[in-house]
C-alpha cells in the first residue's frame, strides 16, 4: 500500500523521474500524491495534490522544476481523510519524509513533540516522523544520526525515505515490515530508493532489497553509491539482483486497461507457470497441510484444498492470515504450512508465517516476487510466473497460484487443455456487455457453486464487489436455504456456477429454489450439460452460458476467466475505473 520513490542525481531534472515513477506506482495507492525536492538554492519545496497522479503531474509541469534530489509518494489513506494536508511528503524544519506503513506509537510521540513546541497540520501518523527527525537535529545530531535515532523510537511497520535541505547530497531510507529497494542508474549518475521494482523499471537495472531493520544511505560523490546498515549499525552487503521489470510490463500494450491486458494473459501465464515449475517438494511426507493467505490468495488456497485432499489424500486447512495470527493456533506435528501472497509482502501473511516458524514448523511460500520478504524467510519457495500485475484486482496471479497448487499434488498436467479452455473463454462469442447491463442495476448479487466451483464463486463475488461496488456474496450452493435465500427476490441476480460435474444435479436443484423465489439466474455451465438441464433453460428468469466441456480437474480455469471478464465488463458498464477501484491498493502492507 502506498508507493515511494526517491532520487539523487547529477541531473537537475529529477522531477520527471519522480512523476513517471509515481505513475507506475499508482496501482499501490491513488488517494493523493506529492513530491518534495530541493531547489537550486537548496531550499525545500513541496507539491501535493488530491486524486490521481495525473493531477500532480500537471502541477509539477507548471513549476518547471530544477532539482537534483527529491522524494515522491502516492498514498492509500490509513490515518486521516483524503486531503492535501494529509498527503505526503510531510515536512518539518527542512526535513521531508515519505512513509509506507503504520506508526503504532505516534500518539505518544506526538504528545512529546507538541510539548516541544511542534505544531501538527495533518491527521496522519507520518507527520510525527518528520518532526521527530527535526527534533533530533535541533538537539545537535547530524542528519544520519537523527534519522537512526528516530527510527529506533518508532513502533509499527514502515518504509521511510528522508531528505534534509542542509545535507543536500544524501538520501536516507529505512525498512521494517514494508518493502524497499535501492539501486543505481546503469551509468552510476543517479541513485534511487523505491517501494518496489516497478517504480525503477526504466531507471535502475540492478536492485538490492533491504531486509528487516536495514537503513540505507545513498550518497553523491564522484559516482553514486549506497551503503546499507543493519539494526546494530554495522555496514553490510545485500545481494544485488537484476531488475526484471521492463517497460513492456508496465505498458497496456494496446489494451484499454491493465486489467483487461492481464486477463488476456491468463493462458500465457498458465503456460509459463507450468513450464518453469521445477519444484520437487514431496508433500506426501506430511500428515497435514495448512494454507494461510488473504483475499484472492485465500480463495486460491480454498481451491487447492479440494485438489490436495482428493488427489494426495492429505488433510488440508485453509485459514485467513489476519485471523490465524491473532488466535492461539495448535500446531500438528509433521505439518506443512503454505503461505500464498502475490506480492510476497502481505503483512498479515508474513506475520502469520513468522508465528509458524517460531513453532518450528516447515513453511512454503507461494509468491510472485522471489525477492520478497515472505520468499526470503520461508523454508521452501515456489515462484509463480504471473509477471507484473498492475491492475489492483488480481486476475492472472490467481491463475498462476491455482495452477502451482495443482502441480504440488499432480504433476501429470495437461497444460494444452488448460490453455485451450482459458483461450476459449477469452476468444469465445460471449456477450459480456449484454450480461453486464443485465446485472449492473442489481441490489445484490449471489455467486453459488459446489465442490471446487464454490471457491471460484467466492473469487467471482470478490472481483465484482471490488470493481463494480455491487454488494456480492459467494456461497456454497447447498447452504443458501440456511439463511441467504431469505433475501432472494426479483431484484437479486445469482451467478450459478454449475459445470457438468458430479455436483451438477444438486446445483441445478439449488438454482430451482432461487427461481421459485422470483430470483434471476445466470447459469454458467458447460456444453456437455445441454441435454441435462431439465427445462431450466426455458425459464424466463434464466440466462445460460455454456463454457467448453472439460476434465473436471481443469474446470476452475475456464470458470475463473469467465468470472474475471464478467466483473470487468460490469465495472465498465457502470463507468468505473477498473484498474484503480476505490478504496483499494495492490499490496497490503498494513494491518
CA distances from 111 to 119, 128, 141 (A): 10, 10, 21
Sheet of 335-341: strand order equals 315-320, 288-293, 335-341, 362-367, 380-383
Predicted confidence band of residue 590 (pLDDT cuts 50, 70, 90): very low
Residues 398 and 431 in one domain: no
Name the strand (E) or helix (H) holding 492: strand 492-497
Residues with Cβ within 8 Å of 326's Cβ and at least 6 positions away in sequence, in order, are: none
Pairing label, strands 444-449, 492-497:
parallel
| Residue 1 pLDDT greater than 80, yes or no | no
Same domain, yes or no: 48 and 170: yes
Confidence of residue 313 (pLDDT cuts 50, 70, 90): very high
pLDDT at position 589 over 60 = no
* 313: CB partners within 8 A, 6+ apart: none
Across the chain, what does the average pLDDT equal? 91
Does the pLDDT at position 250 exceed 70? yes
φ and ψ of 112, to 5 deg:
-60, -45
Same domain, 399 and 451: no
Note whether 210 and 74 are same-domain residues. Answer: yes
Tens digits of residue pLDDT in 13-48 = 889 899 988 888 877 667 889 999 999 889 999 999
Does residue 158 form part of some domain? yes
CATH code, 362: 3.40.50.10490
pLDDT of 324 above 50: yes
Q: How confident is the model at residue 198 (pLDDT cuts 50, 70, 90)?
A: confident
Residues 216 and 271 in one domain: no
Per residue in 414-461, pLDDT tens? 999 999 999 999 999 999 999 999 999 988 999 999 999 999 999 999
Q: Classify residue 586: in a domain, yes or no.
A: no
| Whether residue 289 is found in the same domain as residue 196 | no
Q: Burial-class residue 438 by CB neighbours within 10 Å (0-12, 13-18, 19+).
A: middle
* Residue that is last in its domain, among 208, 242, 276: 242
Regarding predicted confidence, which is higher, 79 or 44? Answer: 44
438 shares a domain with 364: no
Residue-level pLDDT at 281: 84
CA-based torsion, 572, 393, 25, 72: positive or negative:
positive
Spatial distance between the Cα atoms of 27 and 34, rounded to a whole number of angstroms: 15
Q: What is the pLDDT of residues 334-360, one digit of tens each?
A: 999 999 999 888 889 999 999 999 999
Which residue range forms the structural domain that includes residue 210?
3-242
Report the Cα 115 to chain-centroid distance in Å.
Answer: 39
Residue 591, in any domain of the structure: no
pLDDT of res. 197: 83
Residue 564 belongs to a domain: yes
**Residue where one domain finishes, among candidates 242, 276, 301:** 242
Helix (H, G, I), strand (E, B) or coil at 481: coil
Residue 394 has pLDDT above 80, yes or no: yes
Residues 572 and 431 in one domain: yes
The per-residue pLDDT for 425 is: 96
Which grid coordinates belong to 117? 513546541
Residue 591 pLDDT greater than 60, yes or no: no
Residue 3 cell numbers, joined: 508507493
Same domain? For 311 and 388 the reply is: yes
Least confident interval from 110-124, 178-192, 245-259, 470-484: 245-259
Q: How many domains does the chain have?
A: 3
If asked whether residues 148 and 60 sit together in one domain, one would say: yes
Helices (H), 26-164: 53-63, 106-115, 127-138, 143-153
Do 125 and 260 fall into the same domain?
no
Give domain status of residue 67, yes or no.
yes
Q: What is the pTM of this model?
A: 0.85
Q: Identify the pLDDT of residue 41.
A: 87
Last residue of a domain, one of 386, 413, 440: 413
| Least confident among 250-254, 270-274, 322-326 | 250-254
Residue 388, pLDDT above cutoff 60:
yes
What whole-number distance in Å separates Cα of residue 575 and Cα of residue 571? Answer: 6
First to last CA, the chain: 11
Residues 300, 278 share a domain: yes
Q: Which residues are catalytic?
A: 2, 586
CATH of the domain at 146: 3.60.20.10
Over residues 253-282, mean pLDDT: 91
Amino acid at each position: 500500500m502506498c508507493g515511494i520513490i526517491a532520487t539523487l542525481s547529477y541531473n537537475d531534472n529529477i522531477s520527471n523521474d519522480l512523476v513517471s515513477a509515481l505513475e507506475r506506482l499508482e496501482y499501490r495507492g491513488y488517494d493523493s500524491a506529492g513530491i518534495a525536492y530541493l531547489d537550486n538554492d537548496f531550499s525545500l519545496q513541496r507539491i501535493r495534490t488530491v486524486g490521481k497522479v495525473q493531477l500532480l503531474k500537471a502541477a509539477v509541469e507548471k513549476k518547471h522544476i530544477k532539482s537534483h534530489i527529491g522524494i515522491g509518494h502516492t498514498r492509500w489513506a490509513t490515518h486521516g481523510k483524503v486531503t492535501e494536508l494529509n498527503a505526503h511528503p510531510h515536512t518539518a524544519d527542512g526535513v521531508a519524509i515519505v512513509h509506507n506503513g503504520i506508526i503504532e506509537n505516534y500518539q505518544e510521540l506526538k504528545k512529546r513533540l507538541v510539548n516541544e513546541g511542534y505544531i501538527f497540520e495533518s491527521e496522519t501518523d507520518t507527520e510525527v516522523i518528520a518532526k521527530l527527525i527535526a527534533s533530533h537535529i535541533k538537539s545537535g545530531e547530524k542528519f544520519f544520526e537523527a534519522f537512526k535515532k528516530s527510527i529506533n523510537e518508532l513502533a509499527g511497520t514502515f518504509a521511510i525515505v528522508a531528505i534534509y535541505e542542509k545535507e543536500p547530497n544524501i538520501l536516507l531510507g529505512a525498512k521494517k515490515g514494508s518493502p524497499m529497494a535501492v539501486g543505481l542508474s546503469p551509468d552510476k549518475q543517479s541513485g534511487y530508493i523505491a517501494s518496489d521494482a516497478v517504480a525503477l523499471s526504466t531507471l535502475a537495472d540492478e536492485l538490492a532489497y533491504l531486509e528487516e531493520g536495514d537503513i540505507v544511505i545513498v550518497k553523491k560523490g564522484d559516482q553514486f553509491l549506497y551503503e546499507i546498515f543493519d539494526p546494530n549499525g554495522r555496514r553490510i552487503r545485500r545481494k544485488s539482483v537484476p531488475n526484471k521489470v521492463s517497460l513492456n510490463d508496465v505498458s497496456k500494450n494496446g489494451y484499454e486497461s491493465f486489467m483487461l491486458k492481464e486477463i488476456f494473459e491468463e493462458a500465457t501465464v498458465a503456460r509459463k507457470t507450468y513450464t518453469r515449475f521445477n519444484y520437487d517438494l514431496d508433500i506426501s511426507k506430511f500428515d497435514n497441510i495448512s494454507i494461510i493467505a488473504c483475499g484472492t490468495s485465500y480463495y486460491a488456497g480454498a481451491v487447492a484444498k479440494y485438489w490436495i485432499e482428493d488427489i494426495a489424500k492429505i488433510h488440508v486447512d485453509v485459514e485467513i492470515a489476519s485471523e490465524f495470527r491473532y488466535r492461539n493456533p495448535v500446531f500438528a506435528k509433521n505439518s506443512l504450512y503454505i503461505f500464498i501472497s502475490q506480492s510476497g509482502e502481505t503483512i498479515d501473511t508474513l506475520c502469520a508465517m513468522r508465528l509458524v516458524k517460531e513453532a518450528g514448523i516447515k513453511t512454503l511460500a507461494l509468491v510472485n516476487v522471489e525477492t520478497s520478504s515472505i520468499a526470503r524467510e520461508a523454508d521452501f519457495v515456489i515462484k509463480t510466473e504471473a509477471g507484473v500485475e498492475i491492475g489492483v484486482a488480481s486476475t492472472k496471479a490467481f491463475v498462476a497460484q491455482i495452477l502451482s497448487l495443482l502441480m504440488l499434488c499432480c504433476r501429470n498436467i495437461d497444460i494444452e487443455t488448460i490453455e485451450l479452455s482459458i483461450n476459449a473463454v477469452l476468444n469465445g462469442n460471449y456477450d459480456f456487455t449484454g450480461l453486464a447491463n443485465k446485472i449492473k442495476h442489481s441490489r445484490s448479487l449471489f455467486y453459488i457453486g459446489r465442490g471446487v466451483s464454490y471457491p471460484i464463486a467466492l473469487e467471482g463475488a470478490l472481483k465484482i464487489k471490488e470493481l463494480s461496488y455491487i454488494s456480492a456474496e459467494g456461497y456454497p450452493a447447498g447452504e443458501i436455504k440456511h439463511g441467504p435465500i431469505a433475501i432472494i427476490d426479483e431484484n437479486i441476480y445469482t451467478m450459478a456456477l454449475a459445470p457438468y460435474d458430479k455436483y451438477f444435479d444438486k446445483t441445478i436443484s439449488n438454482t430451482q429454489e432461487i427461481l421459485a423465489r422470483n430470483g434471476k439466474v445466470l447459469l454458467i455451465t458447460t456444453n456437455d450439460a445441454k441435454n441435462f438441464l431439465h427445462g431450466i433453460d426455458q425459464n424466463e428468469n434464466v440466462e445460460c452460458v455454456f463454457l467448453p466441456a472439460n476434465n473436471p480437474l481443469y474446470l476452475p480455469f475456464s470458470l475463473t476467466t469467465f468470472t474475471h471478464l464478467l466483473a470487468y465488463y460490469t465495472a465498465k458498464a457502470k463507468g468505473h475505473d477498473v484498474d484503480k477501484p476505490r478504496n483499494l491498493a495492490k499490496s497490503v502492507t498494513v494491518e
